[in-house]
Structure 1
Amino acid sequence: MGSLFYWLFMVGFYNLKENNRFQLDRLAMKPGFYLP
C-alpha cells in the first residue's frame, strides 16, 4: 500500500506542477513556501 500512496502522491505533484502553474505561483507567494 505504501508504494501506491507514494505513486499517487508523485503523480499528483507532477500534475500540480505541470498543469496548474497558476495555482502553484499563487501558493509560492506565501512566505517560506517553495517547491522544487
Structure 2
Amino acid sequence: MKISMQKADFWKKAAISLLVFTMFFTLMMSETVFA
C-alpha cells in the first residue's frame, strides 16, 4: 500500500512538472513568434 502511494505521489509530481514545463515552453514559443 505504501509503495503504491509513493508511486502515485511520483506521478503527481511528474504531471505537475510536465505541466509547468509545457506552459513555460509555450510562453517562450509565443515570445519568439510575436517578437
Q: When the two structures are superposed, what TM-score results if normalisation uses the length of structure 2?
A: 0.54
Structure 1: segments with no counterpart, 5+ residues? 23-36
- Aligned partner of 1:13: which letter? S
Structure 1 consecutive aligned stretches of length 4 or more whose deviation exceeds 2 Å: none
| Greater relative CO, 1 or 2 (CA 8 Å, sep 6+) | 1
Aligned residues: 21
Q: Percent identity?
A: 14
Tell which structure's C-alpha radius of gyration is larger.
2
- Aligned partner of 2:19: which letter? N
Q: Distance in 1 between matches of 2:16 and 2:10?
A: 10
Structure 2: segments with no counterpart, 5+ residues? 26-35
